Structure 1
Amino acid sequence: MQQLLKEARNCTFCEKYLPLVPKPIVKATKNSKIVLISQAPGRIVHQTGIAWNDQSGKKLREWLGVDETTFYNTNNFAILPMGFCYPGKAKTGDAPPRKECAPLWHNPILSELKNIQLKILIGAYAANYYLPGNLNLTQKVSNYEDFLPEYWCLPHPSPVNRFWRSKNPWFEKDVVPTLQKKIAEILD
Structure 2
Amino acid sequence: MQKLLSEIRGCKVCKEHLPLGPRPIVTAHQNSKIVIIGQAPGTKVHKTGVPWDDPSGEQLRKWLGISDEVFYDASKIALIPMGFCYPGKGKSGDLPPRPECAPLWHKPLLSKMPNVELVILIGRYAQNYYLGKAAKKTLTETVKAYKSYLPDYFPIPHPSPRNRFWLAKNPWFEERVIPVLKKRVADIV
The answer to whether TM tops 0.5 is yes
The residue correspondences of 1:133-172 to structure 2 (distance < 5 A) are 133=133, 135=136, 136-172=138-174
Q: Secondary structure at the match of 1:37?
A: strand
Whether contact under 8 Å (1:92, 1:160) holds in the other structure is no
Inter-partner Cα distance in structure 2 for 1:160 and 1:56: 9
Matched, 1:119 2:148: no
Matched, 1:177 2:168: no
Give how far 1:93 is off.
2.3
Inter-partner Cα distance in structure 1 for 2:65 and 2:124: 22
Inter-partner Cα distance in structure 2 for 1:185 and 1:165: 25
Match of 2:49 in 1: 49
Whether contact under 8 Å (1:93, 1:160) holds in the other structure is no
Give how far 1:21 is off.
1.4
Match of 1:79 in 2: 79
Give how far 1:100 is off.
0.3
Q: Aligned partner of 1:78: which letter?
A: A
Matched, 1:103 2:103: yes
Match of 2:67 in 1: 67
Q: Aligned partner of 2:111: which letter?
A: S
Q: Aligned partner of 2:168: which letter?
A: S
Q: Secondary structure at the match of 1:53?
A: coil
Contiguous gaps of at least 5 residues in structure 2:
none
Q: Secondary structure at the match of 1:35?
A: strand
Match of 1:131 in 2: 131
Matched, 1:37 2:75: no
Inter-partner Cα distance in structure 1 for 2:142 and 2:183: 19
Taking only the aligned residue pairs, the percentage that are identical comes to: 57
Give how far 1:106 is off.
0.3
Whether contact under 8 Å (1:71, 1:77) holds in the other structure is yes
Inter-partner Cα distance in structure 2 for 1:179 and 1:30: 23
Q: Aligned partner of 2:22: which letter?
A: P
Match of 1:24 in 2: 24
Inter-partner Cα distance in structure 1 for 2:75 and 2:141: 30
Q: Aligned partner of 2:5: which letter?
A: L
Inter-partner Cα distance in structure 2 for 1:115 and 1:26: 18
Return the TM-score normalized by structure 2: 0.97
Whether contact under 8 Å (1:122, 1:156) holds in the other structure is yes
Q: Secondary structure at the match of 2:178?
A: helix
Q: What is the Cα-based RMSD across aligned positions, in Å?
A: 0.8
